[in-house]
Amino acid sequence: MSNLQASNLFSVQDRVAVITGGGSGLGRIIARALAINGASKVFVLGRREDALHETVAQAPSGIVVPVQCDVTSKESLESAYSAVAAQTTHVDILFANSGIMGPMMRQTPKPDGSLPTLSEVRDELFSIPMEEFTKVMDVNVTGAYYTALAFLPLLEAANKRRPAPQVGVMTLPTAQVIFTSSIAGYNRKVPFSYAYNVSKAAVTHVVKTLSTNLLPYHIRVNGIAPGLYYSDMASQIFEDGGVAGGGVSEGSHPAALVPLTRSGSEEDFAGLVIWMSSASGGYVNGAMMLTDGGRISSLPSTY
């Protein structure tokens, strides 16, 4: 069989993965995609046990393992690490995917489209408690960063299992951390929330700094910046727009919102994740992968 056959290029056979936020949305897609395609163990982490068990139920049996964890607590991360370490010798890929949107923190235009006064803007934004801003940073930035730190020994163990290089034969990929950032981290006009957008810009920078600092240890660090995918977090946008079926068919969204006029589908996300996790994704390091149907190129100032 040729090296260039898709089944070789994109194989995730026998990979071991850990996914925070694996009980819903994008984390569940990652878990199912890896389990369906031959991963040997996929640990899903999150606070809600029932949600984690639902992911287990939606995947081939015996592959997905639920581990309760709050990424904002070092103790919880330590005990999740111990639970995972008791069931595997190594972790090939860690997805630091948990995230929250937090409260909307944006200057809303008046119904007639006119600009609010500066004091109205100030009242609207200043009324949000600082704690709510900080909580978004706690989960999205601090929690994601400490998740990566917590699992470094098991990632290193994956590197130690790799066979010795053979001249002329591509060496298997090194261990990898993949952070879920967002297009919200790039563009000043993305709506949502100041806290969310700032947190995702920080996550993107964590990808850059960690990938640089972990280079000598051969642990790769990459990120994904999704645009609009149906999930618990994003569901309000779909409800507001009266969008059915996850919005994956063309014509579901106005072109002003998403140029491709549809949301990302589970196939879009699973395909990206499988490639990043596979042998042919092994040369990618310090990179952000955009999957947004062109949305970042055409963002309206409000939505």
Ligand X SMILES: NC(=O)c1ccc[n+]([C@@H]2O[C@H](COP(=O)([O-])OP(=O)(O)OC[C@H]3O[C@@H](n4cnc5c(N)ncnc54)[C@H](OP(=O)(O)O)[C@@H]3O)[C@@H](O)[C@H]2O)c1
List residues with catalytic annotation: 181, 196, 200
Candidate ranges 6-14, 22-30, 160-168, 266-274; the one touching ligand X (CB under 6 A)? 22-30
Q: Is 9 in the site for ligand X (CB under 6 A)?
A: no
Closest CA to 20 of 33, 10, 31, 8: 31
- Closest approach, Cβ 217 to ligand X, in A, equals 25
Q: Is 97 in the site for ligand X (CB under 6 A)?
A: yes
Can you give the three-state secondary structure of 97-148, one letter per residue?
CCCCCCCCECCCCCCCCCCCCHHHHHHHHHCCCHHHHHHHHHHHHHHHHHHH
Q: Is 258 helix (H, G, I), strand (E, B) or coil?
A: coil
Q: Is 195 helix (H, G, I), strand (E, B) or coil?
A: helix
Considering beta carbons, is residue 9 or 104 the nearer one to ligand X?
104
Give the x/- contact pattern for ligand X in 206-245, rule: CB under 6 A: --------------------x-xx-xxxx-----------
Closest CA to 207 of 241, 182, 236: 182
Closest CA to 181 of 231, 237, 141: 141
Question: Phi and psi of 268, rounded to 5°?
Answer: -60, -45
Considering beta carbons, is residue 43 or 229 the nearer one to ligand X?
229
- Closest approach, Cβ 205 to ligand X, in A, equals 15
Query: How buried is 154 (Cβ within 10 angstroms: 0-12 exposed, 13-18 middle, 19+ buried)?
Result: buried
- Closest approach, Cβ 48 to ligand X, in A, equals 3
Q: Is 291 in the site for ligand X (CB under 6 A)?
A: no
Considering beta carbons, is residue 70 or 156 the nearer one to ligand X?
70
Q: Alpha helix (H) ranges present in the chain?
A: 6-9, 25-36, 49-57, 74-85, 118-126, 130-137, 144-150, 152-160, 194-213, 235-240, 266-277
Considering beta carbons, is residue 93 or 279 the nearer one to ligand X?
93
Cα atoms in the Cβ-side hemisphere of radius 13 Å centred on 46: 28
Give the x/- contact pattern for ligand X in 43-82, rule: CB under 6 A: ---xxx--x-----------------xxxx----------
Q: Is 19 in the site for ligand X (CB under 6 A)?
A: no
Give residues 119-178 in contact with ligand X (rule: CB under 6 A): 139, 143
Positions touching ligand X (CB under 6 A) are 20-21, 23-27, 46-48, 51, 69-72, 97-100, 139, 143, 180, 182, 226, 228-229, 231-234
